[in-house]
């Protein structure tokens, strides 16, 4: 070392610090990569992604290679810094111990700033720009140093086995539905808001049951086949849907449903009578009220059905659900729907309050108005208020449900018909919920 000039030693020290920065940034860049984006790029035959994926397939070897290289470089840098410190100490007449201590402090700061924190921060911010190019040199180094790396890994894996850890068993990076929902919500400008809503709607299907979206029994419209034939014909011509329920006397004695296409065929053949109508009736499909929507969607597909009557645990009819109802949970309301929308049931008033129909679905109100009324109990606003009060109220009674001031405007036929909700008061007094 005496034959090497101090200037050359400083140059070598700088090169070693640069190499240390390379290993540090490579390690952080490799480990900070988005694994799902990496797989996507790999499928597209991206060369950098393919090299990185191959290196990451054996993380023990990759980490071993980087740490071996980094430690060798840092130890060499420490040795050279010591030699430089001794030379300068002799030239300046300073104690060797003081010189070495000073060199150690300075070198530690230099390595921390220029070989650790700065390159690792840069790699964490731009992992692909660091990992893909560095994978070229790392792949070559791994081939050259493979025997040394394998030996070190064999020793470390042996120590891990003594601790009851198998290095071959790695945690699989799979996303749960909640994690995937977070990924979609955090996608930002990468996805159009409409696409985000649709993807979240698909993920939410497993959290929503048929009972939440069904047309309730009280709103079901059908035709009593015991009525006069002229009345039945009039009801068929005025029906808002292509599929019409048929029943005898009450909806509990449902016969089936008739498709408008079948009725038109009978009419075109001049065979349109009550008897032929009953023979054309299609069998109904029954759905348990607690079935999750993702499962019911598959059942509709398997059974080649588009609607079903929802029944409770006693077999009593509770409502009706259609394929379109489930699809609306994903894509939003269809413009062709003939049923009242939430906007028809919620009317803004000049004072900022809303007049809301008591029969409106709480879930639909929350979704349309971004409110936070509880949905784990009754399905309608009328049911929620009655459950809260435990009695059928009179007009002009005020209460607070989940923080929302509500005034009962109209009660008739043992039902709350109209209420006034004041969401602005709720928001102003609950700023943390905004």
pTM > 0.75: no
Residues 36 and 147 in one domain: yes
How far apart (Å, rounded) are the C-alpha atoms in residues 410 and 396? 8
Q: Tell me if 223 is assigned to some domain.
A: yes
pLDDT tens for 319-328 read 999 998 898 8
- The dihedral over CA atoms of 24, 25, 28, 30, expressed in degrees to the nearest 10, equals -120
From 278, 296, 323, give the residue that closes a domain.
323
How far apart (Å, rounded) are the C-alpha atoms in residues 397 and 393? 7
* H or E, element range at 421: strand 415-421
From 274, 295, 323, give the residue that closes a domain.
323
pLDDT band at 75 (very low <50, low <70, confident <90, very high): very high
Angle at 255 between CA 249 and CA 256, to 5 degrees: 135
Q: Tell me if 202 is assigned to some domain.
A: yes
pLDDT tens for 407-430 read 999 998 888 999 998 876 555 555
Residues 233 and 310 in one domain: yes
* H or E, element range at 255: strand 250-259
Residues 12 and 146 in one domain: yes
Residues 181 and 158 in one domain: no
Residues 78 and 152 in one domain: yes
> Is residue 222 left, alpha or beta, with left meaning phi > 0 and alpha meaning psi from -120 to 50?
beta
Buried b / exposed e along 65-74 (16+ C-beta atoms within 10 A): bbebbbeebb
* H or E, element range at 102: helix 96-110
pLDDT over threshold 60, residue 18: yes
How far apart (Å, rounded) are the C-alpha atoms in residues 290 and 359? 21
pLDDT over threshold 90, residue 190: no
How far apart (Å, rounded) are the C-alpha atoms in residues 364 and 125? 41
Q: Which residues pair with 245 in a beta bridge?
A: 222, 257
Q: What's the sign of the alpha-carbon dihedral 141, 144, 146, 152?
A: negative
pLDDT tens for 168-181 read 655 555 667 777 77
From 97, 129, 162, give the residue that closes a domain.
162
3 state SS of 283? coil
| Residue 434: per-residue pLDDT | 37
Is residue 297 a contact partner of residue 210, using CB atoms and an 8 Å limit? no
Residues 18 and 143 in one domain: yes
How far apart (Å, rounded) are the C-alpha atoms in residues 24 and 18? 10
Buried b / exposed e along 194-233 (16+ C-beta atoms within 10 A): eebebbebbbebeebbbbbbbbeeeebebbbbeeeeeebb
CA 136 to chain centre: 35
pLDDT over threshold 90, residue 330: no
Q: Tell me if 1 is assigned to some domain.
A: no
Residues 246 and 384 in one domain: no
Arithmetic mean of pLDDT, 182-192: 73
Is residue 202 a contact partner of residue 330, using CB atoms and an 8 Å limit? yes
| Residue 170: per-residue pLDDT | 56
Residues 135 and 22 in one domain: yes
Is residue 196 a contact partner of residue 100, using CB atoms and an 8 Å limit? no
How far apart (Å, rounded) are the C-alpha atoms in residues 419 and 358? 7
Q: How many domains does the chain have?
A: 4
Q: The domain containing residue 303 runs over which residues?
A: 212-323
pLDDT over threshold 80, residue 335: no
Q: In terms of pLDDT, which residue wins out, 1 or 9?
A: 9
Contacts of 83 (CB under 8 A, 6+ apart): 1, 9
How far apart (Å, rounded) are the C-alpha atoms in residues 211 and 158? 56
| Residue 171: per-residue pLDDT | 54
Q: Tell me if 301 is assigned to some domain.
A: yes
pLDDT band at 337 (very low <50, low <70, confident <90, very high): very low
How far apart (Å, rounded) are the C-alpha atoms in residues 122 and 128? 11
Q: In terms of pLDDT, which residue wins out, 172 or 299?
A: 299
């Amino acid at each position: 070392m005496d034959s090497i000039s101090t200037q050359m030693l400083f140059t070598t020290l700088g090169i070693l610090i640069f190499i240390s920065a390379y290993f540090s940034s490579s390690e952080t860049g490799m480990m900070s990569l988005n694994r799902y984006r990496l797989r996507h790029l790999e499928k597209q035959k991206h060369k950098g992604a393919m090299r990185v994926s191959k290196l990451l397939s054996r993380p023990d070897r990759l980490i071993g290679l980087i740490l071996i290289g980094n430690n060798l470089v840092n130890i060499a840098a420490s040795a050279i810094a010591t030699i430089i410190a001794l030379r300068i100490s002799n030239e300046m007449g300073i104690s060797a111990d003081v010189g070495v201590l000073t060199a150690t402090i300075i070198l530690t700061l230099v390595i921390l700033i220029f070989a650790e924190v700065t390159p690792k921060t840069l790699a964490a911010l731009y992992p692909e720009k660091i990992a893909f190019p560095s994978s070229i040199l790392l792949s070559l180094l791994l081939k050259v140093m493979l025997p040394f790396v394998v030996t070190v890994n064999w020793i470390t894996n042996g120590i891990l086995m003594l601790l009851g850890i198998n290095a071959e068993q790695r945690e699989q990076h799979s996303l749960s539905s909640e994690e995937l929902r977070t990924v979609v919500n955090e996608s930002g400008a990468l996805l159009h808001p409409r696409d985000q809503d649709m993807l979240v709607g698909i993920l939410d299907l497993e959290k929503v049951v048929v009972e939440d979206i069904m047309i309730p029994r009280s709103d079901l419209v059908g035709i009593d086949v015991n009525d006069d034939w002229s009345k039945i014909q009039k009801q068929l011509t005025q029906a808002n849907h292509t599929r019409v329920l048929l029943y005898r006397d009450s909806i509990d004695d449902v016969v089936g449903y008739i498709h408008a296409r079948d009725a038109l065929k009978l009419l075109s053949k001049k065979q349109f009578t009550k008897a032929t109508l009953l023979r054309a009736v299609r069998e109904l499909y029954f759905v348990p009220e607690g079935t999750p929507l993702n499962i019911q969607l598959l059942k509709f597909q398997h059974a080649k059905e588009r609607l079903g009557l929802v029944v409770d645990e006693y077999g009593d009819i509770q409502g009706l659900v259609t394929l379109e109802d489930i699809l609306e949970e994903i894509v939003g309301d269809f413009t062709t729907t003939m049923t009242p929308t939430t906007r028809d049931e919620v009317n803004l008033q000049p004072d900022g309050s809303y007049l809301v129909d008591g029969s409106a679905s709480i879930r639909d109100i929350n979704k349309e108005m971004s409110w936070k009324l509880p949905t784990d109990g009754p399905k309608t606003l009328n049911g929620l208020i009655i459950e809260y009060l435990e009695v059928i109220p009179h007009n002009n009674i005020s209460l607070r449900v989940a923080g929302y001031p509500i005034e009962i405007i109209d009660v008739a036929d043992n039902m709350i018909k109209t209420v006034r909700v004041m969401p602005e008061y709720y928001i102003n007094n609950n700023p943390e919920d905004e």
